[in-house]
Structure 1
Amino acid sequence: MPRFSANLGFLWQELPLPDAIRAAARAGFDAVECHWPYEVPVADVQAALSDTGLPMLGVNTSCGREGEFGLSALPGEGTRARASVDEAIAYAEATDARAIHVMAGVAQGPAAHEAFLETLAYACAQTDRTVLIEPLNRYDAPGYFLRDTGQAQDILTTLGAPNAALMFDCYHVARTEGDLLTRSTDLWPIIGHIQFAAVPDRGAPDHGEIAYSEVFEAIDRMGWPHPIGAEYIPQGATEASLDWMQTIGGRA
């Protein structure tokens, strides 16, 4: 049976982060993950993790200024990009998070490619935690540098860092490429984290175009060792969106 992580960038958004961690524990999640927790005192997050026993799986690097959506592939912004990596590493170390998602940003072209590689090389050299990259679909993130898993695979091959990996977000992959189970099987050796949401509305996974009961079973069969991330947007209260944990998630 798969285990699940609550992405607190979307779930329980109305609560302060420490309270959201406690809510995730009460709901039966096995872990938590964040987007940008940097305004929350790390001691408060540490206390909530300690109280609940939930591990923190990951944090994102900063989005930067409005419209940037990340800094790491922005030509000429290496200083800011490295600072965002340092910030994420420090928070990850303080919360013992497994991974850091290095956000690329809105950029295109060879200069962006080189900037992204330079930032990723820096990140991988600064930590032994997993450094993740995630392709985002063009509907939700128009102009985002990292567009699909093929591009991500090429970047990881060029980078050649043992602690760099792919964030395989089923929602983004399905919207961009389709053939979700084949893509996950083909990319299995480079996947460092898995997330999910319904397609196309990014809601809870018990509806839409993807049969997540089959996806969860396939992930479980392939021996995925970590909780997979529920990164969906609830329609209303998060607690009211959690029936999927029983109906398709295998929870009694």
Structure 2
Amino acid sequence: MGLTFSANLGFLWQELPLPDAIRAAHRAGFAAVECHWPYDVPAQQVAAALSGTGLRMLGLNTRRGGPGENGLSALPARGAEARAAVDEAIAYADAIDAGAIHVMAGFATGQEAEAAFIDTLRYACAATTRTILIEPLNSYDAPGYFLTTTAQAEGIIAKVAAPNLRLMFDCYHVQLMEGDVTHKLERLLPIIGHIQFASVPDRGAPDHGELNYPHIFAVAERLGWPLPLGAEYKPGGPTEPTLGWLLR
């Protein structure tokens, strides 16, 4: 069958309402979609677009929080809000049958932050059978974010010890923070729940930059990766002219 790809509608076709962006991704040949924060769009509209195109929503994020925030789950004083954001994400995911929920950690540091994050993740994993994802973010784009490396994520996944907690492996973030993407994909495969990609360092389409994506895609295929890979890149304008990599 070969690899398939998911359009991240947080970046691709972001000028369109989410249901129209789903339809655009279908016309372009994507096998699935994913999004960031769909909560301002009624879930029934998204579900109708998914049903009409036959695409699945692979995942969505918990809310960032207030202005200037980037998640709540690792903020020690915000546990009730973090759990409410998890509840909201699960309800929306249930309404559109999304595959996974990315629980965002937020800007924090230290042992209390880790303890808060673990508590929220245990709550999330117990509240749903859907996949719960955590994603290390690079310190250039998200300075001060709690979760920054795959090793840190691996440790947290081990401490939570829930079967539905997985790593979101974004090749863009991993390359900027750690490099060695191929070996990390191979080693971390048992705990990976989703793979995303973009060029490095400009986060554009995967047809230029530091990473050789034909090679990385071939590695994912050799490893038997079963899900669509997430195209989470910034097109810098209309999406369609950037899709040459998908046609190839």
> Please, what TM-score do these two structures have when normalized by structure 1?
0.97
- Cα distance per residue 1:164-213 (max 9 Å; x no partner): 00000000000000010011111111000000000000000000010000
- Cα distance per residue 1:59-89 (max 9 Å; x no partner): 1000001222000000110000000000000
Indicate the residue corresponding to 1:134 in structure 2: 135
Q: Do residues 19 (structure 1) and 20 (structure 2) align?
A: yes
**1:175-194 correspondence runs (5 A):** 175-194=176-195
Q: Do residues 217 (structure 1) and 218 (structure 2) align?
A: yes
The 2-side partners of 1:246 and 1:238 are apart by 13
Identity of aligned residues (%): 66
AA aligned opposite 1:243: G
**1:162-173 correspondence runs (5 A):** 162-173=163-174
The 2-side partners of 1:100 and 1:226 are apart by 15
- The 8 Å contact of residues 67 and 106 in structure 1, kept in 2 or not, is answered as no
The 2-side partners of 1:222 and 1:109 are apart by 35
Indicate the residue corresponding to 2:200 in structure 1: 199
**1:235, CA displacement in angstroms?**
2.1
- The 8 Å contact of residues 7 and 229 in structure 1, kept in 2 or not, is answered as yes
**1:139, CA displacement in angstroms?**
0.2
Indicate the residue corresponding to 2:62 in structure 1: 61
Corresponding residue SS for 1:201: coil
Indicate the residue corresponding to 1:78 in structure 2: 79
AA aligned opposite 1:223: G
Corresponding residue SS for 1:200: coil
Q: Do residues 30 (structure 1) and 31 (structure 2) align?
A: yes
**1:246, CA displacement in angstroms?**
2.4
AA aligned opposite 1:153: E
Indicate the residue corresponding to 2:114 in structure 1: 113
The 1-side partners of 2:78 and 2:237 are apart by 38
Corresponding residue SS for 1:100: strand
Calculate the aligned-residue CA RMSD, in Å: 0.5
Structure 2 alignment gaps of length 5 or more: none
Indicate the residue corresponding to 2:10 in structure 1: 9
**1:236, CA displacement in angstroms?**
1.5
The 1-side partners of 2:176 and 2:68 are apart by 22
- Cα distance per residue 1:103-153 (max 9 Å; x no partner): 000000111000000000000000000000000000000000001000000
Indicate the residue corresponding to 1:46 in structure 2: 47
**Number of matched residues?**
247
Q: Do residues 89 (structure 1) and 90 (structure 2) align?
A: yes
Q: Do residues 99 (structure 1) and 100 (structure 2) align?
A: yes
Q: Do residues 234 (structure 1) and 235 (structure 2) align?
A: yes
AA aligned opposite 1:41: P
The 1-side partners of 2:82 and 2:158 are apart by 21
Structure 1 alignment gaps of length 5 or more: 248-252
Q: Which runs of 4+ in 1 moved over 4 A?
A: none
Corresponding residue SS for 1:147: coil
The 2-side partners of 1:69 and 1:84 are apart by 12
162-171 vs 60-69, greater mean Cα deviation: 60-69
The 1-side partners of 2:141 and 2:186 are apart by 25
Indicate the residue corresponding to 1:250 in structure 2: none
AA aligned opposite 1:42: A
Corresponding residue SS for 1:193: strand
